[in-house]
Amino acid sequence: MRSKASIKGHPIHPILIPFPIAFLIGTLLFDILHITSGNRSYRQTAGYLEIAGIVSAIIAAIPGVIDYFKTVPPNSSGKKRAALHGLINISLVVVFAVAYVLRDNSSTTLIIGLEAIGVIMLFISGWLGGTLAYRNQIGVDIRYAGAGKWNETHVADNKGLIEVATADELKTDQMKLIHIGTKRIVLGKTDSGYFAFDDRCTHRGGSLAGGTMICGTVQCPWHGSQFDCSTGVVKAGPAKENIAIYPVQELNGIIYIKY
């Protein structure tokens, strides 16, 4: 799914995270250099790197938090993974902050121990972040032939007919994500007309709006489950449950979903 914290479709969080990774690992390396060489200038450099690492981690967290709330599909395995990723990141920043506070009055061995724990947490968090980016495709702006630009809108949560698009807004095989309050519904245009279905894949909660829709079938981007857009029936697993569908009406060039 396209990131909500992005510049022209380029997600900001991955652009910023190399800085805290480099600074915080550098902190540990320079403290090790200090203890092995006895040269105090290494210790001073480590202190500066630690401040830079903590500050840049906090800055990098801002687009990450935005993506957590606005981009990662709700009620999904990716949401749990993203929560764990964020929790580990907060914890490791606290560990490095404690190491910095204790730096002048504690043994270098204790400081290095804390920083080593922080770096291990950094690797675990990076692993989870990699899974979020490369498997869950959080922040990936998917383009298949004729998919058009990422398209989504928020509408009021009124029961009954809800206006969601104009009749000529989508071309065949294009989708639009509709947020109705906290509910996420996909409007898709097939050769047979418009259809509306749940955005949430019944396997592990992948966003179908971030997937591919061709010939009236939508494919989840996470593990490839396929659903019939008109009936919601599973055409290919691993999903076993059908997705919910919603009636669509066209009146005077406007598309409405009955919800």
CB of 223 to ligand FES, least distance (A): 3
Element (H, E) at 236: strand 234-236
201 binds ligand FES (CB under 6 A): yes
222 binds ligand FES (CB under 6 A): yes
21 binds ligand FES (CB under 6 A): no
- Number of neighbouring beta carbons within 10 Å of residue 223: 15
Q: Which two tokens stand for residue 9?
A: 């479709």
Q: Which two tokens stand for residue 54?
A: 């903590």
Q: Which two tokens stand for residue 33?
A: 């250099």
d(CA 173, CA 166): 16
223 binds ligand FES (CB under 6 A): yes
Q: Which stretch binds ligand FES (CB under 6 A): 18-26, 138-146, 154-162, 196-204?
A: 196-204
d(CA 10, CA 241): 34
239 binds ligand FES (CB under 6 A): yes
Of 187 and 239, which has the nearer Cβ to ligand FES? 239
Of 47 and 205, which has the nearer Cβ to ligand FES? 205
d(CA 180, CA 259): 9
74 binds ligand FES (CB under 6 A): no
Write out the residues near ligand FES by the rule CB under 6 A.
201, 203-206, 220, 222-225, 238-239
